[in-house]
């Protein structure tokens, strides 16, 4: 399943509520760390939102473009070895452009999860 999440400090959650009303999908939840998130699930919903928002993005444009490529691959019923290798490349590209200390998944772990290792 594809998921896109928008975060906002809970003191300023009103724009997320507005965003949810405009889109008509997703659900809001308050987290324990004082943040509120709008979470939208589903391949077609995430794809539609990313395509509509893409021209306006100032940040995360590389990640959005990469996720759109991944969604195109993931919509297929059967993934070839080539598709899986492309997914690994896309995931690593997204990780490279996200701020985080240690990388969550290495190439080796991703290849193992996707059955690309002997």
Mean pLDDT score of the chain? 92
- pLDDT tens across 60-100, in order? 999 999 999 999 999 988 999 999 999 999 999 999 888 77
For the purposes of burial, counting CB atoms within 10 Å of the CB of 87, is it exposed (0-12), middle (13-18) or buried (19 or more)? Answer: buried
pLDDT band at 101 (very low <50, low <70, confident <90, very high): low
Residues in Cβ contact with 9 at an 8 Å cutoff, skipping those fewer than 6 apart: 34, 35, 36
| Phi-psi sector, 25: left (phi>0), alpha (psi -120 to 50), beta | beta
The candidate with the shortest Cα–Cα distance to 8, out of 41, 38, 32, is: 38
pTM: 0.81
The candidate with the shortest Cα–Cα distance to 81, out of 105, 43, 117, 107, is: 117
């Amino acid at each position: 399943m594809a998921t896109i999440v928008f975060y906002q400090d809970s003191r300023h959650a009103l724009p997320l509520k507005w965003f949810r009303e405009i889109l008509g999908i997703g659900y809001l939840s308050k987290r324990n760390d004082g943040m509120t998130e709008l979470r939208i699930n589903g391949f077609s919903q995430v794809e539609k939102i990313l395509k509509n928002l893409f021209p306006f993005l100032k940040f995360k444009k590389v990640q959005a473009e990469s996720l759109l490529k991944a969604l195109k691959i993931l919509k297929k019923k059967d993934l070839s070895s080539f598709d899986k290798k492309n997914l690994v490349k896309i995931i690593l590209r997204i990780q490279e452009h996200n701020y985080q200390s240690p990388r969550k998944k290495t190439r080796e772990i991703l290849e193992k999860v996707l059955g690309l290792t002997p």
